[in-house]
Structures are given as structure tokens and as C-alpha cells.
């Protein structure tokens, strides 16, 4: 894989079409480039090591030092690492997750990079990388969310992919009448309910409203939020979700779909690999974008994005920026997101993707049909504490929808405590 990447890069550098040609023409980079990465799982680790080696090979004067930290551990270590003796490049996440480090002045403002023409190809996530009107990092991978469904079951009952809420509910009623649950879900670890809220809220009230709610500008008791829950409740009252979902993890909810007891799953694209392992073929499995609820608002999609940032204390700013140009270039993004690498979606719209129908549909959806904006998922968009209280509330709502007033009051109290 490395050699392919190197060859393709060499070709591109020769053709002078990569963004890096700007610096390559001007002056060569020298000194050290220290990278701390959290890509610690086996496949991402190989990708990161490959990228660092290739970048090192491209810049003979530059010494690239890569440190890989356990992904979970990095979530607590990052603050230390950014404060004392900071590296030049670090991994992190988009949207509100950047907030603490932006507010503390630990991430460097890289709006000048985003102003370069090559970055127009990353427009889909520009909003997610923007805080306080400036950009603080670059994306290298993301994956789509959406409804994965059993096409064979849909065909059996003569159903087609719904495009609006009425069709969605009509499909669901047919399935329920035939003893099949519409959706499987496992809310034991709460976050899966966050996906449902993201979609119903953004389809009901739009991306901008969703973002305002996430940043604490709107009260949880607002009638628009209640409308979201009212829409959600229609499905709950129908019995659309599998029973006792609060006792399953997302993986433990898979058998319902694989065994045909439930027809669809609102989930991230990582679920596909698991479903294929469970024996579902690509003929049985298909994908559709979450349907329209309010025709006046544009599609907003959940696509959690992983990112690179430059600490404000970086020693080798030139090399760090050049590395960010490198990882966002179409060819590098194509290579690292391929099936042999991360197996996810490149953010660069000019990148190409593997021959996989779910990746193809997702890439098309996120690049062309997510005009509302890209959400980063409930627990990344909302403040961390708000998200944890919030997701508990969402789970409770799914099990006891009558408690809604109580839940909203509780979330509102939390919002006031956190954001004021």
C-alpha cells in the first residue's frame, strides 16, 4: 500500500497538481515535525505510519517523528500534550469537541490554509471545523449515517425507500402488521438514541436550529424541541422500535436485523461490516437517506469527522501546515480511506472511493445532498456534560415517552447550569 501511495504521490508532485507544490517550489522544509496521533487501532495505525513515512520521504530535509497514543487515553492526555512541550500536529475531532482547546488558545488558527483554493474541495466540513468564525483543523476521514434496511424484507411486502415522513410511517405500519419491527436499536450505552434525535430534530427544525440547541442558545422546553419529540413519539407509539432496546448494546441489537425480526437500523456505516459478517449479502442490504419531515428545511447529515490540528505552541509551523495540505489532498485521502486502510469516506470531494455501494451512496449523499450541513453526532456537537445528561434523557423518552415534561425540565436545568 505504501509503495502505491508513494508512486501516486510522486506522479502528482511531478504533474504539479498537488497543493504541496506551492511549498515544494518555494523552499524545502527542514527541522523536525513531531506528530502525536490517536490512530491506535491496527488498521488506522498502519495508515498513519504510512502517511508519516511518505511525508518524510517527500521532504528529505525534514525529520518526521510520529508518536501513536491509545485512542481512549488520548481523550484525557491531549490537554497535557498541548500545554507542555507541544508537538506540531495532533489528532482530534471536529465541532464542539474542539471548543475547550480553542477557548484555551491551544489550537492554532489555520484560516489562512482554508483560504487556499485547494481547500474548496473540503467545503462539506468547513462548518464543522469553524468556531468563532475561524478554522482550527482539517478533516481526514468521515463516515455517513443513515438508514440501513433489509431490501429483501421491503421487497417481500412491496415497500420502497421512503422519501418523506408519511411514507416512512406507512412503510412501518405495513411491517408492523406483518409482525416485523421497523427499527432495531440498542440504547444501553445511550448514544444510539442520540442519532435518532439528531435526525428527527434536524429534519423537523433544520440544521441551524440543531446547532443553536447544541451550543446552548435555545431552551430545551422550546416548542420546536417539543415538536421534534412529538414526531419521534409517533414512531414510539406505533411500537416501531424493538422491545427492551435499553438492554442491548448497538452490536447486540444487530441480530434482530440479521434474523429478520426488524427491518432497518439507523446507524453509522461501520455497521455494514458487522452485518456482512453476520451473513447478509449486498442484495439483502441497502441504504437510504433519512427521509424529509419538514419540506422547508434542507438535509443535514450526521458524519462524525476525524481531524488533524496544529497546536498553537508548535515549533515547526511551516512543516505542520504542509502536512495538513498533504493529508487533505485528494490522492492521500483516496488512499487512506480505501478498503485496505480506514474503509471510510474521504472528505475531499475530488477524491475517489472504493467500489462499495454503501461508500458510494454515502459519498454522493454527503458531497451532493447534505445542503443543510454536516452534524458531528450528538455527543460531539453538544457540550460533553450536556450530551451525557441529554442522552440519558433521550433513552428515558424512548422507554417512557410520558415522562417528556420531566425530561425536558431536567435537560433545561442542565443547559442553564452549563452554558450560563
Partner 1 sequence: MFPTPLAKTSRTWQISYQVLLPFALIVWLLPLIAVANFSIKPEADFVNGNYWGLPSSFEAFSNYGKVFFESNMPRYLINSLFITIPTVIGAVALSCMAGFALGVYKFKSNLPIFFIFIAGNFVPFQILMVPVRDLTVSMNLYDTKTGLVLFHIAFQTGFCTLFMRNFIRALPFPLIEAARVEGISEWRIFLFVVLPLMKPALAALAVLIFTFIWNDYFWAVVLTQGPDAQPVTAGITEFNSQFRAAYHLMSAGSIVAALPPVVMFFLMQKHFIAGLTLGAVK
C-alpha distances (whole Å) from 262 to each of 132, 146, 193, 269, 271 are 43, 16, 17, 18, 15
199 Cβ neighbours under 8 A, 6+ residues apart: 145, 266, 290, 302
Of 32, 61, 70, 413, which one interacts with partner 1 (CB under 8 A)? 70
- Give least dist CB 67 to partner 1, A: 11
Task: Give the shortest CB-358-to-partner 1 separation in angstroms.
Answer: 14
Closer CB to partner 1, 80 or 111, in the complex? 80
Cα 325 vs. chain centroid, distance in angstroms? Answer: 21
At 67 the three-state DSSP class reads: strand
- For position 46 contacting partner 1 by CB under 8 A, the verdict is no
Of 44, 311, 341, 362, the one binding partner 1 by CB under 8 A: 44
Q: Does residue 268 interact with partner 1 by CB under 8 A?
A: yes
Cα distances from 150 to residues 153, 179, 185, in angstroms, run 5, 15, 15
Cβ of residue 254: shortest distance to partner 1, in angstroms?
5
| Nearest residue (CB) to partner 1, 216 versus 268 | 268
Dihedral Cα 42, 45, 46, 50, nearest 10 deg: 180
CB of 155 to partner 1, least distance (A): 21
Mark 86-125 with x for binding to partner 1 (rule: CB under 8 A) and - for no binding: ----------------------------------------
Query: Minimal distance in Å, beta carbon 194 to partner 1?
Result: 15
* Residue 368 interacting with partner 1 (CB under 8 A): no
The residue from 255, 284, 350, 418 that contacts partner 1 (CB under 8 A) is: 255
- Dist. CA 339–CA 137, nearest whole Å: 25
Cα 269–363–35 angle (5° rounding)? 75
The verdict on 275 binding partner 1 (CB under 8 A) reads yes
Does the footprint of partner 1 cover residue 288 (CB under 8 A)? no
Q: Does position 254 bind partner 1 by CB under 8 A?
A: yes
> By CB under 8 A, is residue 41 in contact with partner 1?
yes
For 306, the 3-state DSSP assignment is strand
| Among 116, 155, 277, 364, interactor with partner 1 by CB under 8 A | 277
Q: How far is the CB of 171 from partner 1 (least distance, A)?
A: 24
Stretch that binds partner 1, among 86-94, 236-244, 269-277, 369-377 (CB under 8 A): 269-277
Is residue 115 within 8 A of residue 19, CB to CB? The reply is no
CA 319 remoteness from chain centre: 27
Tell me: does residue 313 bind partner 1 (CB under 8 A). Answer: no
* Residue 378, C-alpha cell as written in the block: 450528538
Nearest to 52 by CA among 91, 108, 97, 101: 91
Q: Is 345 in the site for partner 1 (CB under 8 A)?
A: no
Query: 415 to each of 383, 402, 409, how far by Cα in Å?
Result: 9, 21, 10
Phi, psi angle pair for 142, to nearest 5°:
-155, 175
DSSP for residue 369: S
Of the candidate residues 71, 75, 226, 410, the single one contacting partner 1 (CB under 8 A): 71
The residue from 7, 111, 259, 281 that contacts partner 1 (CB under 8 A) is 259
Provide, rounded to whole angstroms, the least separation between the CB of residue 173 and partner 1. Answer: 26
Q: Does 265 bind partner 1 (CB under 8 A)?
A: no
d(CA 393, CA 413) in angstroms, rounded, equals 12
Binding site for partner 1 (CB under 8 A): 41, 44, 69-71, 73, 249, 251-252, 254-256, 258-259, 268, 270, 273-275, 277-279
Amino acid at each position: 500500500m505504501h509503495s502505491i501511495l508513494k508512486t501516486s504521490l510522486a506522479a502528482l508532485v511531478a504533474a504539479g497538481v498537488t497543493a504541496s507544490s506551492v511549498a515544494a517550489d518555494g523552499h524545502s522544509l527542514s527541522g523536525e515535525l513531531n506528530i502525536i496521533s490517536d490512530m491506535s487501532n491496527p488498521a488506522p495505525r498502519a495508515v498513519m505510519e504510512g502517511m508519516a513515512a511518505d511525508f518524510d520521504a517527500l521532504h528529505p530535509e525534514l525529520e518526521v517523528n510520529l508518536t501513536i497514543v491509545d485512542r481512549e487515553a488520548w481523550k484525557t492526555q491531549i490537554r497535557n500534550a498541548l500545554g507542555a512541550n507541544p508537538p506540531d500536529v495532533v489528532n482530534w475531532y471536529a465541532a464542539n469537541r474542539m471548543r475547550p482547546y480553542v477557548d484555551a488558545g491551544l489550537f492554532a488558527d489555520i484560516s489562512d490554509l482554508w483560504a487556499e483554493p485547494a481547500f474548496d474541495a473540503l467545503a462539506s466540513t468547513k462548518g464543522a471545523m469553524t468556531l468563532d468564525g475561524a478554522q482550527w483543523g482539517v478533516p481526514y476521514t468521515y463516515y455517513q449515517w443513515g438508514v440501513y434496511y433489509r431490501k429483501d424484507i421491503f421487497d417481500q411486502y412491496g415497500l420502497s425507500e421512503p422519501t418523506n415522513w408519511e411514507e416512512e410511517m406507512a412503510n412501518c405500519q405495513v411491517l408492523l402488521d406483518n409482525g416485523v419491527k421497523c427499527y432495531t436499536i440498542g440504547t444501553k450505552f445511550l448514544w444510539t438514541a442520540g442519532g435518532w434525535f439528531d435526525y428527527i430534530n434536524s429534519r423537523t427544525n433544520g440544521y441551524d436550529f440543531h446547532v443553536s440547541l447544541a451550543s446552548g442558545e435555545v431552551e430545551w422546553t422550546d416548542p420546536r424541541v417539543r415538536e421534534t419529540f412529538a414526531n419521534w413519539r409517533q414512531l414510539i407509539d406505533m411500537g416501531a422500535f424493538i422491545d427492551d432496546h435499553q438492554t442491548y448494546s448497538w452490536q447486540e441489537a444487530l441480530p434482530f436485523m440479521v434474523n429478520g425480526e426488524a427491518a432497518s437500523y439507523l446507524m453509522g456505516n461501520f455497521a455494514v461490516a458487522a452485518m456482512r459478517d453476520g451473513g447478509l449479502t449486498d442484495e439483502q442490504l441497502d441504504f437510504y437517506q433519512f427521509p424529509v419531515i419538514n419540506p422547508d428545511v434542507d438535509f443535514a447529515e450526521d458524519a462524525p469527522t476525524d481531524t488533524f490540528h496544529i497546536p498553537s505552541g508548535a515549533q515547526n509551523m511551516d512543516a505542520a501546515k504542509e502536512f495538513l495540505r498533504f493529508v487533505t489532498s485528494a490522492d492521500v485521502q483516496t488512499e487512506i480511506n480505501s478498503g485496505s486502510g480506514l474503509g471510510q469516506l474521504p472528505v475531499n470531494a475530488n477524491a475517489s472511493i472504493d467500489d462499495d455501494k454503501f461508500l458510494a451512496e454515502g459519498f454522493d449523499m454527503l458531497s451532493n445532498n447534505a445542503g443543510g450541513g454536516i452534524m458531528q453526532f450528538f455527543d460531539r456537537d453538544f457540550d460533553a456534560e450536556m450530551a451525557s445528561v441529554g442522552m440519558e434523557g433521550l433513552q428515558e423518552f424512548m422507554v417512557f415517552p410520558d415522562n417528556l415534561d420531566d425530561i425536558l425540565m431536567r435537560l433545561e436545568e442542565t443547559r442553564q447550569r452549563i452554558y450560563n
